[in-house]
Structure 1
Amino acid sequence: MNQLARILRGTLALCLFSSLSAQAANYTLWINGRTGGGAVGNYNSWTYWGPGTTAAGINKKSVNWDGYNSISSQSSKIRDALDCFCTGANWCYIATHSAGNLMLGYNLANYGGSARYKKNATPNSAGQCGNSDGTTQTGWNIKWVRNASGASGGSELSDYGSWSTSEPLVKDLKTTTARALYDHNNTRNIWFYMYAGASGTLYSSILPGQDDEAVAYHSTGGVAGSSGTSLGNPADWLSNDLSLGTAANEGGSVKWSYHSVTFRDDNEAYNHYANGAWGGIISVVRNAMVNYAK
């Protein structure tokens, strides 16, 4: 009888384990930047990026926020998505664009150490999911983050009023404000891989060093400091080089912790904009998500 009981318990445990394993999934979250466009709360609304039929990583979800109001006021939209898809047995790969990088960094630094209820990955119309078993975990299950033209260091276009200063988000995107908004070194040990575009000409007199028409290398390269610095490609004579990986840049500036430059646009081929077709520097990150977010 005891042997039979042990066999039954073992069989039950195996079935339970198999059931839980079958429910586990990986998701790819895309977090938009300024201007927004996708329907907030609808994780299948891809207006900001391009056609929703385009491959962009396993179980892709569009994490939409309005791209207009302040980071703090909109940050709960991102936490809803992280709770939905990145808790319990589920794990996430994350891609951001522009101010989406600032938004994610803000949430990780300020809420990544908090207790989060494990969710069932079945969102309602508001983009919120129900609890799976009533238990909590600390922070979220995130494998890594890839940032297309990350604006965590702000943009001089906000500093000089090239963008409408009536937008609350534009105030957050001032270089000194963005860099003081949260502890950029505190990523909860999650790697931020940076993709820096350099096909910028329109605002070359405002944006220091190389830029993609909206954000300069000091921001897209995850470079630390209280303000921006002029950084460029190896072929540029008038600015120090943005280094690849985690190494210090030419001239001595360093990157924030857990920030690594994966792509530097040496050929000046990629601008800032999706153009409704996964374009610009976003195309490089999308290709990486297809290859690595599985």
Structure 2
Amino acid sequence: MAGRTMRGVLMAAAVAGGLAAVAHATNYSLWINGRTGGGQLGNHADFTYWGPATANAGVNKKSVNWDGYNHVADQNYLVRDALDCYCTGNNWCYVAVHSAGNLQIGYALAMYGGTARKLKNATPNAAGQCGDLNGSTQTGWNIKWVDVAGGAAGGSELANSGDWAISEPLVSDLKTSTARAMYDHSATRATWMYMYAGASGTLYSFILPGQDDEAIAYHSSGGVAGTGGGSYCNPSDWFCNDLTLGTAKNEGGRAKWGYHSVAFRDSTESFNHYTNGNWGGIVSKVRADMEANAR
């Protein structure tokens, strides 16, 4: 698979080029929630949104809790605080996100990933902010990759149609045209986004185009580029264009955003959007990948 092969090449190069530095590093696994939130803001040990905190979800896992209700731009400081805490200096991060958490990490990288960040001591206070390490700075963060479960960076037609409560500020961000114009989705600072797209959607199939996980259609969860959505499906579906694996252009010629690769396409239509309080749905595939590879 193109995306996973690229991941292996990048990891091998990093090991070969900086073995001595890695020996003194600590790796962390950051989990960024989506809409509705659930975890206590600033408490990186609260995995209420995801499921039991005892689950193996990558090395030194931390829950980057934001409220899942207000605008992405207004809540993004919580994500940046966590990235500063654990992903600066000699420390490196693996990042896993769900749903609107895709917008949060994409926004952070595009809007702030080229800015000076103070090195932090990885010891957060109650607000989720860490102390300065030595006064030094670096540009952006040390991120190995991002795993994206049911990514909403392309928006959802459920927000367009008002199926979600329109009084929520976040829902206005999740409209397809707004989400796609919020930032440059290809400006990932060369950080790879590995997309996991679920297709066990039935309830809203008449609203969501192509294959979907009941909340997010393949055009978003598959990282399909462009200013608007589109109808994308599994190869077994004859009535819309295929969402391709890896970085390849989709059937019909439409590309994915830069540094986006489809790692999993739900060809058996088995995974929906919801965690169900137990790392469920499409999140289960990302959790398994983090367990196996975020070390």
Secondary structure at the counterpart of residue 262 of structure 1: strand
CA distance in structure 1 between the partners assigned to 2:227 and 2:22 by the alignment: 45
Which structure 2 segments of 5+ residues have no match? 1-20
What is the aligned partner in structure 1 of residue 136 from structure 2? 135
| TM superposition outliers: structure 1 runs of 4+ over 2 Å | 20-24
1:145 and 2:124 matched = no
Q: Which piece of structure 1 moves more, 192-201 or 21-30?
A: 21-30
CA distance in structure 2 between the partners assigned to 1:51 and 1:219 by the alignment: 28
What is the aligned partner in structure 2 of residue 290 from structure 1? 291
**Count of matched residue positions in the alignment of Structure 1 and Structure 2:** 276
**Amino acid paired to 1:57:** G
1:204 and 2:205 matched = yes
CA distance in structure 2 between the partners assigned to 1:254 and 1:91 by the alignment: 30
1:73 and 2:48 matched = no
1:181 and 2:192 matched = no
What is the aligned partner in structure 1 of residue 38 from structure 2? 37
What is the aligned partner in structure 2 of residue 223 from structure 1? 224
Shift of 1:67: 0.1
What is the aligned partner in structure 1 of residue 89 from structure 2? 88
CA distance in structure 1 between the partners assigned to 2:251 and 2:139 by the alignment: 38
What is the aligned partner in structure 1 of residue 239 from structure 2? 238
Secondary structure at the counterpart of residue 280 of structure 1: coil
**Amino acid paired to 2:214:** E
Secondary structure at the counterpart of residue 169 of structure 1: helix
**Amino acid paired to 2:167:** S
**Amino acid paired to 1:187:** T
CA distance in structure 2 between the partners assigned to 1:196 and 1:228 by the alignment: 15
CA distance in structure 1 between the partners assigned to 2:29 and 2:124 by the alignment: 15
What is the aligned partner in structure 1 of residue 7 from structure 2? none
The TM-score with structure 1 as length reference comes to 0.93
Alignment of 1:99-118 (within 5 A): 99-118=100-119
**Amino acid paired to 2:174:** L
**Amino acid paired to 1:84:** C
Alignment of 1:160-179 (within 5 A): 160-179=161-180
What is the aligned partner in structure 2 of residue 191 from structure 1? 192
Post-superposition CA distance 1:209-247 (Å, at most 9, x none)? 000000000000000011100000000011110000000
Q: Percent identity?
A: 68
**Amino acid paired to 1:244:** L
What is the aligned partner in structure 2 of residue 121 from structure 1? 122
CA distance in structure 1 between the partners assigned to 2:168 and 2:106 by the alignment: 20
1:259 and 2:249 matched = no
Shift of 1:24: 2.2
The TM-score with structure 2 as length reference comes to 0.92
CA distance in structure 2 between the partners assigned to 1:81 and 1:265 by the alignment: 31
What is the aligned partner in structure 1 of residue 64 from structure 2? 63
CA distance in structure 2 between the partners assigned to 1:22 and 1:132 by the alignment: 19
What is the aligned partner in structure 2 of residue 28 from structure 1? 29
Q: Are residues 22 and 123 of structure 1, via their aligned partners in 2, closer, same or farther at CA, if it must alter by over 3 Å?
A: farther
Shift of 1:21: 6.9
Secondary structure at the counterpart of residue 275 of structure 1: coil
**Amino acid paired to 1:196:** A
Shift of 1:134: 0.5
CA distance in structure 2 between the partners assigned to 1:272 and 1:21 by the alignment: 35
**Amino acid paired to 1:266:** S
CA distance in structure 1 between the partners assigned to 2:154 and 2:22 by the alignment: 39
